[in-house]
Amino acid sequence: MSNISVLFVCLGNICRSPTAHAVFQALVEDSGLSEHIEVDSAGTGDWHIGHAPDQRTCAVAAEHGYDMSSLRARLVDADDFDQFDYILAMDHDNLANLKAICPADYAGSLGLMLDYTVAETFAEMDEVPDPYYGGDDGFSLVLELVEDACAGLLEHIRSRL
């Protein structure tokens, strides 16, 4: 069985991408694939490097059984394209930022997180909205979207393993 690596990317790496990181890591562990799938997250902006995820993000995640206590924000860089098979942005702006630094010979999959959505409820959405400046309900929506897309991503990866 080959190894697969996945990087989730948002702007500051304190809300959306760490949520995806925690959710996908839990799914990978629950499926017994921890030895075969590496998970990480990063941001395209450098404002929060070294910081823990947003408290509201952590609270919503904890309510659903996800632990984000070990996660710290980091900046995505060109070396990530050498390390990760899947690099998934939460929105079009971050995808554009990733494409700007993506080496021409990158052989992995660069796309949007919600490309892996499976629920009909979210079929019309293509971006995970940034909840940072909104209310608490935005963090719950992010978790719902990410849980759904992570399930679809894991099924996709399993079909390749």
What pLDDT digit, counting tens, does each position of 140-160 carry?
999 999 999 999 999 999 988
Say what the pLDDT of residue 136 is.
83
Known catalytic residue at 56: no
| Active-site hit among 15, 16, 54, 74 | 16
Buried b (16+ CB within 10 A) or exposed e, 112-147: bbbebbeeeebeebebbebbbeeeeebbebbbbbbb
**Total count of residues recorded for the chain:** 161
**Which CATH number is correct for 4-160, 3.50.50.60, 3.40.50.2300, 3.40.50.720, 3.20.20.60?**
3.40.50.2300
CA distance 27 to 49: 26
Domain ranges of the chain: 4-160
pLDDT digit string, tens, across residues 33-60: 999 999 999 999 999 999 999 999 999 9
| Active-site hit among 54, 80, 130, 148 | 130
pTM: 0.96
Query: Hey, which bits of 81-145 come out as E strands?
Result: 86-89, 109-112
Known catalytic residue at 16: yes
